[in-house]
Chain A
Amino acid sequence: MKPLVKMKNCIASIALTMGVATSAQAVDLEFYFPVAVGGKAADTIQALTDEYVAANPGVNIDAVYSGSYGDTVTKALTASRGGKPPQLSVILSVDMFTLIDEEVIMPFDDLVKTDEDKAWLQSFYPAFMENSQTGGKTYGIPFQRSTPVLYWNKEAFAEVGLDPEKPPASWEETIEMGKKLVKKDADGNTSRWGVRIPSSGFPYWLFQGLSTQNDVVLANSDGNETYFDDPKVAEALQYLVDLSTKHEVMAPGIIEWGATPKAFFEGQTAMMWTSTGNLTNVRENAPFDFGVGLLPGNKRFGAPTGGGNFYIFADSSDEQKVAAFDFVKWISQPAQSAKWTIATGYVAPRPDTWDTAEMKAYTDDFAPALVARDQLEFAVAELSTYENQRVTAAFNDALAAAITGTKSVGDALAEAQKKADAILKDYR
């Protein structure tokens, strides 16, 4: 027993001295990333990280796949409370207030020193920065960001005598065209719906498209006030409900996210609203000619943004913070950003990425990728507040209740507002 213990101690002390020796030279970073678009994204992040490490011998980055967005925030918060936070993580932009509230992240402003850094901070699309800044500070850097767009089946449009190159541009046109596109079989069952707006899981996201088009915001930028009971919000929700009940251009009840692209490929719907993250999937699997366009407008055009930002964790050494900052700067450069966008379909978050030769070649070959960029002009911040999960859950419940018809639109929204007020009271 004794010699074994001795040997163990010996190994431990060697390991310890080696550990000290390496940390004097190199900075070790732990970087959590979620994957929401399949395994290829993980490979791309790994490849980019390896490329950075190879070019920067003083830094080791351990890129750790951390499940879905939800799993990632759980893992990052658990590790932070457990005293071993990552230095860097990609987490949903809407979790910013939660992370600030937990005091685990730090603003990028503290690391910005040179004019070049300041210019870099200004280089992203404002639509993406809305979700990344609060109280005059920048906490997140846009990375895997998306926005919902309209996909339409050109063959179906031609079949019913509509111009296949002209998707609906307004709420009324969606109803008019939708009515023409609905197809019933001999038994009177609908074999093709006009449009599909998924509402399972997180209905607030696409609903935010509708509310923005109706020219109303759901929450203030301080994240402590919501406007769910605004009459314009009710109007937007009534429109969504009416698509199924009154106009019968959309299947009734809750519509699944995951099954939506499939339903589109199978011709069960002529149009769908879904994330730009689906571009590659639709491109590879749609057996017909399809178009991609802006979400139809009402009082204005509008769509939410979505997806994840880079955050730097506060409980790190100064060297680690500087290294993490440098890595985020590097990976958001046009060359890296273009690689990432082409591999995954995420919207490149800064204008100069779209000017690179790689992106030009990509968009020449596949023009629909540009629609997401063009929509950014009309895009707004995704709904995000303090206690975000509880507030959005209250709102999601209200939307689901109105969609399934268990509550009236007015009652459901009033109730959601009351719940949100109770939750956010302490943050005002």
Chain B
Amino acid sequence: MSATHFRWPGFDTVLNAFAMWFLAFMWALPLLYAIWTAFHPAAYETNFVWNAPLTLDNFAKAWAAAPFARYFLNTFMLVTMILICQFVLCTLAAFAFARFTFPGRGILFALVLLQLLVMPDILIVENYKTIRSLELVDTILAIGLPYFASGFGIFLLRQTFMSVPRELDDAARVEGTSFLGLLWKVYIPLAKPTYLAYGLVSVSHHWNNFLWPLIITNSVETRPVTVGLSVFAAIDAGLEWSVINAATLMTSGPLLIAFLLFQRQFVQSFMRAGIR
């Protein structure tokens, strides 16, 4: 119990801080490289000179390589549509699983969970057949349709709804609230962090999805940005890193900016929603 004159920070504190910075740096490195190459002429792709001339040519080149304006619009419509449908369907299903007892509930919920175990890629042919029989091939709806009833979303929301205190539920019922009113006024507000976290996962997943949209769509009017981005993977002709990175920044830019804007909410909601 001697008096301490000066306290060195503990060894593990230093180690933690160092590891943290190191990991953060390693994580950011590809992004930093992308930013470097995107804003400099191709000659500086592998030469790091402080006063290298800045340029926006790479972005102009990338933008001209595919109808990106239309692709952005399509992607935006796609992720919005998927998010809205997922929220509605998953909320209703999760509420039913969380607060109602009905015959076959256990089996149905097991089926929903089963969806989490099946790789979506395995179902591509079956999904294609379904979409074709609905005559929806080459529509934005067709890209989103297989993802509307998300097993992950239902599971996540059910867990959240089940953690809502019974007392709140009972109190609202005593007031004579309908089931939908109960859902709208009690459950959904309390599950806000989960919605935010799930929304982020969903939007970024569908923003980046490539193979299914490529297969089910044929025209510029329906295709998302990832399909535009794939034009740059031209292995036969040598890769132009500066243009590829400009295109990558351009297509992932909206997501990055949105994430930075809502960073605090996202981090908090991830902590609360328990997806880490």
- Seen from chain A, the residues whose Cβ lies within 8 Å of a Cβ on chain B are 30, 35-39, 42, 62, 64-68, 71, 74-75, 78-79, 81-84, 146, 201, 257-262, 266, 274-275, 277-278, 280-282, 285, 307, 345
Contacts and interface: CB of A to CB of B under 8 A. Distances in A.
Contact of A277 (B65, B214, B237, B241): B237
A258 B132 contact: no
A84 to B, nearest CB: 5
B214 A39 contact: no
A285 B240 CA distance: 10
B101 interface: no
Given A35-B231, A37-B236, A38-B232, 9 more contacts: A36-B237, A64-B218, A78-B124, A81-B128, A146-B236, A259-B239, A261-B239, A277-B236, A277-B237
Nearest to B217: A64
B65 A281 contact: no
B260 interface: no
B78 to A, nearest CB: 17
Contact of B231 (A39, A64, A75, A278): A39
Contacts of A71: 211, 214, 230
Nearest to B214: A67
Contact of A67 (B227, B239, B240): B227
A278 B239 CA distance: 10
B46 interface: yes
B57 interface: no
B125 interface: yes
A81 B125 contact: yes
A30 B137 CA distance: 13
Nearest to A77: B125
Nearest to A146: B236
Contact of B129 (A42, A83, A285): A83
Contacts of A64: 218-219
B129 A38 contact: no
Interface residues of B, number: 31
B236 A278 contact: yes
Given A278-B236, A278-B237, A38 B231 contact: yes
B66 interface: yes
B88 interface: no
A72 to B, nearest CB: 9
A262 B42 CA distance: 10
A258 B239 contact: yes
Nearest to A266: B46
Given A39-B231, A278-B236, A262 B46 contact: yes
A-B pairs, 10 with minimum CB distance: A277-B236, A82-B128, A261-B238, A39-B65, A37-B237, A36-B236, A38-B234, A258-B239, A281-B238, A64-B218
A30 B218 contact: yes
Nearest to B128: A82
Contact of A262 (B234, B237, B238): B238
A336 to B, nearest CB: 20
B171 interface: no
B261 to A, nearest CB: 32
Contact of A84 (B132, B210, B231, B238): B132
Interface of B: 42, 45-46, 65-66, 124-125, 128-129, 131-132, 137, 210-211, 214-215, 218-219, 227, 230-241
B238 A258 contact: yes
A71 B129 CA distance: 18
Contact of A78 (B128, B231, B234, B237): B128
Contacts of B231: 35, 38-39, 42, 65
A309 B121 CA distance: 27
Nearest to A261: B238
A176 to B, nearest CB: 28
Most B CB within 10 A of own CB, among A30, A42, A65, A275: A65
Contacts of A62: 218-219
Contacts of A67: 210, 214, 227, 230
A167 to B, nearest CB: 20
A143 to B, nearest CB: 13
A83 B132 contact: yes
A79 B234 contact: no
Contacts of A266: 46
Contact of A36 (B45, B211, B235): B235
Contacts of B129: 81-83
B42 A285 contact: yes
20 contacts: A36-B237, A37-B237, A39-B65, A65-B227, A67-B214, A67-B227, A71-B230, A78-B128, A79-B128, A79-B215, A82-B128, A82-B132, A83-B129, A84-B132, A201-B235, A257-B235, A277-B236, A278-B238, A280-B237, A285-B42
B238 A75 contact: no
Nearest to B46: A266
A75 B214 contact: yes
A146 B129 CA distance: 35
A74 B215 contact: yes
A68 B238 contact: no
B214 A66 contact: yes
B234 to A, nearest CB: 4
B66 A39 contact: yes
A422 to B, nearest CB: 24
Nearest to A274: B238
Contacts of B237: 36-38, 277-278, 280-281, 345
A78 B236 contact: no
A42 B64 CA distance: 13
Contacts of B241: 262
B66 A68 contact: no
A83 B124 CA distance: 13
Contacts of A282: 238
Contacts of B233: 68
Contacts of A261: 238-239
Contacts of B235: 36, 68, 201, 257-258
Nearest to B236: A277
Nearest to B126: A82
A261 B236 CA distance: 10
